[in-house]
Every structure is written in structure tokens, then in C-alpha cells.
């Protein structure tokens, strides 16, 4: 781990499983409560000096990006082994994280002058909050960590970061890399189980919680924040709908829909998790999706040509299996897939489900895996109503040959990102966040940066 600029061992170890084999392939430290206290105290001590010099922070973030990029070749196989994604996608994630550092380094921290006259000068400034406790999930462990630490650090905060126990390795190595660049205590990386996350959110030191994970854990984080009025950003789960308007030819959009759902083995908060297609489109769409699902190469991410890796962990593998089995019992048809692949690891066939509708768990709940339900509708307004009839509200997409009409429909979706003729359009300069239970606040761009600050009004009397 990285605590106060130093490498720190755990008193106990935690095994990390390679989802392609189902076997433990590495051990990482399990942080004790005393070590967490050290990390929090180190971050608090480092805060005053770090928050003073914006130019230094910009320089340091640039260096962090360059250093991460330089290490991408060594890191990518580790990411594939702990997370499961194909090696090329692991490299993309690391390069993306490096790019996020570089982009964030150039953001402005605005000072607005509200009034400047004979009576007063009133400025709106943005102050850092102090120590940020950052907690990440297992689907994009590295890039989601950088989404938190880059803006935290630029704004002048210091950080204690904890990865998921399923994917801690890259984040621990990131700590090693950053340790040589940032002053001691500015970034601390600890690893451990879910309990460590709970210790962090209830710890008296952090003033801000930045959390990405499931809705159920997000609610626990919010409850922990409440007793101390900690600020928080919550990036939570989604159950994204994709609606095909009746005019669109399923053939022209099937590939994009497929990868919108199956990228990263379906383990993306804002992946397409249910498709609403006009009843006339369902047949041809399912045919196209089925062909694609059967043609992609599913396998160990370390093997050349693999397009979809295993599900990351056993509980998630069981969950996807359970939701598909439940759909079968409720009368759904499996157009393709619907079962485990091989005997080792957590591989699951890319699965397309038809003969299903709202009210079945695979449609109503977040599957977060390689199983996609295609649901018929007859009336667009009804499709929108059903798409919105959920506590989730992360993102959604509308597909049509008429972008104007699609935009009009997309704007009716109750979600943070409404996409037209695309899905998963995420970029460093575009805010990303959820409506309803999918989150509080946003990440990325100037809006994400401001979430790591609070307003201070400086009001100077002139008379």
C-alpha cells in the first residue's frame, strides 16, 4: 500500500482471483484500522501545503499522466488478469486514465467576480474540501480511480483511495507510481475488503466521499456521510434502456447496440441493459444480435483475438446465471447463450433473451453482465414510459434515422446522459452522472472538478 509516501505491508494478505481461471494468482495487503488512521492522518497533514500551489498541482498531474502512460505495457497484463478484460482493452483503459490526468491538469478553477463597484468587491471562489475518501468498483478499476484522484488533487485536496477487493492490483501499482511524484501523504492507497470501505466512510478525517459502486452500497455510504455531513459524489448502478424508433432498420444499428450492451462483458454501469424495439423490429434485431453473439470470441483476455473476457467474479457470475434462469422460468426464450462456457473461470455465453417484458427480474434489475433482454413495444410513448418506470436513471439511448425526432424522445428519458444513435459516449470534458437512484453529483469536466470544491464568498466592503 502507499501511506504517507511510503510502501507499507499489510499484517494480513488478501487473495486476488484471476476470473479466467478461478484461481488465486496474487496476494495483496489487507489494511488494518490503525493503518487506515495513518493514511487519513498523513492526508490531513499534507493538505495545507498541497492546497496552496495550483501551478505545482498542474505540473504534478501532468507528470502523473506521463508516468502512467510509460508504465502501461507492464500494467495491462495485470489488469487483464485481475479484471478479465482483453489485453488490448486493458491497455486502452490505462492510456485513457493517463489522458484523464493530462486533461484534468489543464482545467481552470474559476474565480467569479459578482460585484466590483464603489460599495464592494464580491468574489465567488472555490476552496478544496480537505481529505477525500475515494472508493472504486471492479469493472474499470484504474480509470475510475483517476476520475476521482485527478480532480481531487487539482482542486487542492488530498486523497485516501481504496479499490475493490476483486481488482486491487492496478490501483496499488498506481500508488507506487504516484508515490514518486506527489509529496508524501497527498495520495494514499490502501487495500482490503468491504469493511475497509465502511471504515473510510465513517472515519472522522475525510470531508468528502467519492464513491462508485452499487446502489445498495451507495445508500450505506450516504448514511455514513449524513452523521458527519460529509460531502459526497455517488456514481451508482444503472439499468439503461435503448429504444429503437420504428423507422430505424435494425441491421444498421445492431452492431452498435451489441457492443453498447456487451463491451467489458456487459459490466459497465451505463451499458445497454434492456432494448425496447418496435414489435416489427424485434425479429430482425434479435437475428442480427444473435449472429453477433455467436461470432464474437469469448475467452481469456490474455489470448490474442479475445473480444469478451469472463465475468469478473463468482458472486457476479452467480447473479447473471440466476437472472437468466429466472427469465427462463418466467417463459422467456433464449435466442442464444444462456449458460456457462467451459469449466474453468467465470465465462458465460453472450446471451440474447426474447419473449420477455417488464416485471421480470432480468428487465427490472441491473444484470451487469453478458445477458441482454429485447422487449417489444407498439407505441413510442409507452416505450418511454416503461423505460422511465425504474428507480435507475444513469443513461439511455434512442435510435432512429431521424436524429431530431430521436433527440426529442431522448430528452424525455429520466437519466443523466441521453444519447442519440450511440451509447457509452463518455469523455473527460463531458459531465457524467445519474438521475434518481443512479447517483448524486457528476464526475468529469469542469462540473466534476467543482464537486471537489466548495464555494467561498469573499466580500470586501469599500465604503
Q: Which residues are catalytic?
A: 235, 269
Q: Please check whether residue 205 is in contact with residue 42, taking contact to mean a CB–CB distance below 8 angstroms.
A: no
CB nearer to ligand NAD: pick between 80 and 171: 171
Q: Which helix (H) or strand (E) holds 281?
A: helix 279-295
137 binds ligand NAD (CB under 6 A): yes
- Residues 134/139/142/148 CA torsion (nearest 10 deg): -30
Distance CA 57, CA 274 (A): 42
CB nearer to ligand NAD: pick between 196 and 383: 196
CB nearer to ligand NAD: pick between 253 and 311: 311
Backbone angles phi, psi at 411, to 5 degrees: -70, -10
Distance CA 102, CA 12 (A): 36
Q: Please check whether residue 324 is in contact with residue 312, taking contact to mean a CB–CB distance below 8 angstroms.
A: no
Stretch that binds ligand NAD, among 49-57, 132-140, 178-186, 344-352 (CB under 6 A): 132-140
Strand partners, 375: 276
> Closest separation between CB of residue 263 and ligand NAD, Å?
13
With CB under 6 A as the contact rule, the residue among 65, 165, 206, 370 that binds ligand NAD is 165
CB nearer to ligand NAD: pick between 201 and 281: 201
Distance CA 365, CA 370 (A): 14
Cell of 158: 488530498
With CB under 6 A as the contact rule, the residue among 434, 441, 445, 448 that binds ligand NAD is 434
With CB under 6 A as the contact rule, the residue among 84, 130, 175, 238 that binds ligand NAD is 238
Distance CA 200, CA 162 (A): 9
Stretch that binds ligand NAD, among 24-32, 108-116, 213-221, 290-298 (CB under 6 A): 213-221
CB nearer to ligand NAD: pick between 240 and 349: 240
CB nearer to ligand NAD: pick between 181 and 198: 198
For the window 293-332, what string marks contact with ligand NAD as x by the rule CB under 6 A? ----------------------------------------
Distance CA 40, CA 207 (A): 11
Q: Which helix (H) or strand (E) holds 159?
A: strand 158-162
With CB under 6 A as the contact rule, the residue among 156, 439, 441, 451 that binds ligand NAD is 439
138 binds ligand NAD (CB under 6 A): yes
393 binds ligand NAD (CB under 6 A): no
| CB-based closest residue to ligand NAD | 197
With CB under 6 A as the contact rule, the residue among 212, 290, 307, 321 that binds ligand NAD is 212
Distance CA 22, CA 347 (A): 10
100 binds ligand NAD (CB under 6 A): no
CB nearer to ligand NAD: pick between 72 and 139: 139
Neighbours of 70 (CB within 10 A): 11
Cell of 193: 475488503
Phi-psi domain of 265 (left: phi exceeds 0; alpha: psi -120 through 50; beta: other):
left
Task: Please compute Rg for the chain using Cα positions.
Answer: 23
198 binds ligand NAD (CB under 6 A): yes
Distance CA 80, CA 312 (A): 10
170 binds ligand NAD (CB under 6 A): no
Stretch that binds ligand NAD, among 22-30, 87-95, 216-224, 344-352 (CB under 6 A): 216-224
Query: Which residues make up the interface to ligand NAD (CB under 6 A)?
Result: 135-139, 162, 164-165, 194, 197-198, 201, 212-214, 217, 220-221, 235-238, 269, 366, 368, 394, 434, 439
Amino acid at each position: 500500500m502507499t501511506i504517507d509516501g511510503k510502501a507499507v505491508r499489510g499484517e494480513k494478505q488478501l487473495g486476488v482471483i484471476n476470473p479466467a481461471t478461478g484461481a488465486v494468482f496474487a496476494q495483496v495487503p489487507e489494511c488494518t484500522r490503525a493503518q487506515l488512521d495513518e493514511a487519513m492522518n498523513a492526508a490531513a497533514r499534507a493538505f495545507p501545503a498541497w492546497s496552496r500551489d495550483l501551478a505545482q498541482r498542474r505540473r504534478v498531474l501532468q507528470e502523473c499522466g506521463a508516468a502512467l502512460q510509460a508504465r502501461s505495457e507492464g500494467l495491462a497484463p495485470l489488469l487483464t488478469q485481475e479484471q478479465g478484460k482483453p489485453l488490448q482493452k486493458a491497455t486502452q483503459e490505462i492510456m485513457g486514465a493517463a489522458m484523464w490526468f493530462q486533461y484534468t491538469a489543464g482545467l481552470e478553477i474559476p474565480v467569479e467576480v459578482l460585484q466590483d463597484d464603489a460599495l464592494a468587491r464580491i468574489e465567488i471562489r472555490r476552496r478544496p474540501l480537505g481529505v477525500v475518501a475515494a472508493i472504486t468498483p471492479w469493472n474499470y478499476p484504474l480509470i475510475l480511480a483517476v476520475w476521482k484522484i485527478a480532480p481531487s488533487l487539482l482542486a487542492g485536496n488530498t486523497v485516501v483511495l481504496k479499490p475493490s477487493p476483486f481488482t486491487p492490483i492496478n490501483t496499488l501499482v498506481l500508488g507506487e507510481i504516484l508515490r514518486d511524484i506527489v509529496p508524501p501523504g497527498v495520495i494514499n492507497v490502501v487495500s482490503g475488503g468491504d469493511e475497509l470501505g465502511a471504515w473510510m466512510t465513517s472515519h472522522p478525517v475525510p470531508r468528502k466521499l467519492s464513491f462508485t459502486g452499487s446502489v445498495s452500497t451507495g445508500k450505506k455510504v450516504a448514511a455514513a456521510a449524513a452523521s458527519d455531513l460529509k460531502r459526497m459524489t455517488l456514481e451508482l448502478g444503472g439499468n439503461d434502456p435503448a429504444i429503437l424508433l420504428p423507422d430505424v432498420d435494425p441491421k444498421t444499428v445492431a452492431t452498435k447496440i451489441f457492443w453498447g450492451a456487451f463491451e467489458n462483458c456487459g459490466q459497465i454501469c451505463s451499458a445497454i441493459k434492456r432494448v425496447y424495439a418496435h414489435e416489427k423490429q424485434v425479429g430482425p434485431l434479435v437475428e442480427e444480435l444473435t449472429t453477433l453473439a455467436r461470432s464474437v470470441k469469448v475467452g481469456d483476455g490474455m489470448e490474442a483475438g479475445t473480444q469478451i473476457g469472463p465475468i469478473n467474479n463468482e458472486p457476479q457470475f452467480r447473479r447473471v446465471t440466476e437472472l437468466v434462469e429466472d427469465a427462463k422460468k418466467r417463459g422467456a426464450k433464449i435466442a442464444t447463450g444462456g449458460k456457462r462456457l467451459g469449466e474453468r473461470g467465470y465465462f458465460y455465453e453472450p446471451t440474447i433473451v426474447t419473449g420477455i417484458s417488464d416485471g421480470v427480474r432480468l428487465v427490472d434489475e441491473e444484470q451487469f453482465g453478458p445477458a441482454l433482454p429485447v422487449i417489444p413495444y407498439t407505441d413510442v410513448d409507452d416505450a418511454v414510459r416503461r423505460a422511465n418506470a425504474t428507480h435507475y436513471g444513469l443513461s439511455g439511448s434512442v435510435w432512429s434515422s431521424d436524429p431530431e425526432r430521436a433527440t426529442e424522445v431522448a430528452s424525455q428519458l429520466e437519466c443523466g446522459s441521453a444519447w442519440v444513435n450511440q451509447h457509452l459516449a463518455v469523455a473527460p470534458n463531458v459531465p457524467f452522472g445519474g438521475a434518481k437512484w443512479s447517483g448524486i453529483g457528476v464526475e468529469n469536466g469542469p462540473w466534476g472538478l467543482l464537486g471537489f470544491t466548495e464555494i467561498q464568498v469573499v466580500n470586501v466592503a469599500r465604503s
